[in-house]
Structure 1
Amino acid sequence: MTLLRAEGVTLGYGRRPVVHDVSLDVTEGGVGLIGESGSGKTTLARAFLGLLTPMSGNIWYGDQTLEKADPRKFRRDVQPVFQAEALDPRMRIGRSVAEALPRAARSRVPELLRQVGLDPELAGRRPHELSGGQRQRVVIARALAVGPRLLILDEPTSALDVTVQAKILGLLESLDTERLLITHNLAVVERLCRTSYVLFAGRVVESGPTADLLAAPAHPYTRALRDAVPRLGGPPPEAGSAKGGGTEAAPAATGCAYRLRCPLAGPECERAPELRDVRGRRVACHRAEDVLPVT
């Protein structure tokens, strides 16, 4: 079932577009948006939350565009989970969690804190008195207060150490709530998302089942992201290698945006590629078949 859908969405700030003609479905099983900083992930998430109006295209919520949907129902169904720094430092934890609840339901705060693995006694403390992992759990508790169907998570583990990350990921897996995850961490998206979309320079360059996409990328950029992840006992990643592609060049203004970095770029890449079906996923690359391993 599709919970949210972007259809030909272009987004920008002022007159400058930063996300170009993106279409994607937020479906059950978790959806990941993968890409480096500046790829358009957070901008797209803001549009899904109704915080940014598309320059063209539509965001659909069920069978209605977001502009025509009931805002109260939408806010109940779709909740953001920001990084822990989003907590008001002046506000006690209990009050912060209770903000989203009607007055009559504020007795649920201890229950919500227990749901995310926190001692209800922490309700009287302020954010600076909690650890980073505890603050992130508070942010999740706030989002869960209204019983959402979908959580939109923007780098929920980026500022946490590995042990705390594992606990937060375990918590997110245990929740009976769908998720749209914005991240550059491939291990996190592999664990939490059935489907993923890879963005480069505001465009979807590859999408498909997460396990397939990470095991055998069909776009040179996806492969570069995967190969840049250090592996225990393995050699360090080689930036700019022929295998993975570099990260130093800005996106090309014409043709394939990735061609100035791509180790496979050829004359055909001066023409912008269209998304096409290649072995069970969608890929915007003229040479996707050269990227995929031979089967």
Structure 2
Amino acid sequence: MTAMPLLRAERVTLGYGGRAVVHEVSLDVTEGGVGLIGESGSGKTTLARAFLGLLTPMSGNIWYGNQTLKKADLRAFRRDVQPVFQAESLDPRMRVGASVAEALPRAERHRVPELLGQVGLDPELAGRRPHQLSGGQRQRVVIARALAVSPRLLILDEPTSALDVTVQARVLDLLAGLGTERLLITHNLAVVRRLCRTSHVMFAGRLVESGPTADLLARPAHPYTRALRDAVPRLGGAPPRARGRAEAAPAGSGCPFRPRCPLAVAACESAPEPRELDGRRVACHRAEDVLAAAVGEVS
């Protein structure tokens, strides 16, 4: 029996100033880690803000267990779902210990050294301010602060983007070993491959492909997923195939990826409906051709 997802988006449309930027997105945050992949401006962080209750949908619902977020017990929600933003989210005026203690009831603030130790930091760092720490140390403080209330789910928005490769590896090891469910917002395919069993690819505020992370990255069925994968340099491989960047097609004018797609045909002037294909869900008229090319490369 499949467990009920802790968080679920149901045909959610989001926007600012009455202008929609995320369009009818549906996804479940399930066990094993969920990745939300896409370039800057694709709508990932906007969707994360809605999952955190910081942005009200224009239409659709965010579900927390069996209740919509509007009707949920917000105290329980804030305990169960915690954000982990980039290290720069720390208040530069507060000492590390005070930042972590801020999430704790007064009677539990003695746990600060324990929480710092849990993320691999020396408890003596509690007396320092953020500028006295390295980028990796600051990111661990952010994680310690989120763990203070023993959440069931971490929503991580580009948690390693400002870190060098060595520090990234240590932070990823930490996140992988926590045993806490996670929704990871990123453009880094290596990070999502490491931390997420399932992934969703966003382009121009729409989900274009969803499925098991390993299959989705090894054999993409949407040309945008393929473009993201091919943009990652590989040692000894051919250089990434450059293609001029263009804006997405205007809303309501067919497939939004059409101006950038090397496979676009006349049928792409009508918007593709998401459909099931080879164990994933994809919105592309030519998904079979993309998948066949990927299978040929693997074989």
Which bracket does the TM-score occupy, shorter chain normalised? over 0.9
1:251 to 243, 248, 253: 248
Residue 98 (structure 2) aligns with: 95
**How many residue pairs get matched?**
289
Whether 2:268 is the aligned partner of 1:269: answer yes
Q: Decide which of 128, 131, 138 is 1:128's aligned counterpart.
A: 131
| Equivalent in the alignment of 2:277 | 278
Structure 1 residues 168-218: Cα deviation after superposition (integer angstroms, max 9, x where no partner): 000000102000000000000000000000000000000000000000000
- The answer to whether 1:161 aligns with 2:189 is no
Residue 90 of structure 1 aligns to a residue whose secondary structure is coil
**Unaligned 5+ residue runs, structure 2?**
none
After TM superposition, give the deviation of residue 278 of structure 1 in Å: 0.6
Cα distance in structure 2, aligned partners of 1:235 and 1:269: 29
| Mapped partners of 1:68, 1:286: distance in 2 | 39
User: What is the TM-score normalised by the length of structure 1?
Assistant: 0.97
Q: Return the offset for 1:235.
A: 2.4
Question: Normalising to structure 2: TM-score of the pair?
Answer: 0.96
Indicate the residue corresponding to 1:243 in structure 2.
none
d(CA) in 1 for partners of 2:233, 2:162: 18
Q: What one-letter code is carried by the residue in structure 1 that aligns with 2:286?
A: R
1:81 aligns with 2:84: yes
1:183 is matched with which residue: 180, 186, 208? 186
Other structure's SS at 2:97 match:
helix
Taking only aligned residues, the RMSD between alpha carbons, in angstroms, comes to 0.7
1:198 aligns with 2:172: no
Three-state SS of the structure 2 residue aligned to 1:205 is strand
In the TM superposition, 1:1-295 aligns within 5 A as: 1=3, 2-240=5-243, 246=244, 248-253=245-250, 254-293=253-292, 294=295
Q: Percent of pairs identical after alignment?
A: 83
Structure 1 residue runs without a partner (length 5+): 241-245
- Letter of the structure 1 residue corresponding to residue 64 of structure 2: Y
Higher mean C-alpha displacement, 43-52 vs 227-236: 227-236
2:7 & 2:22 partners in 1: Cα distance?
17
1:238 deviates by 1.8
C-alpha displacement of 1:157: 0.2
**Alpha-carbon distance between aligned partners in 2 of 1:212 and 1:188, rounded to the nearest angstrom:** 15
Structure 1 position 234, deviation (Å):
1.8
Write the distance in 2 (CA, Å) between the matches of 1:199 and 1:41. Answer: 7
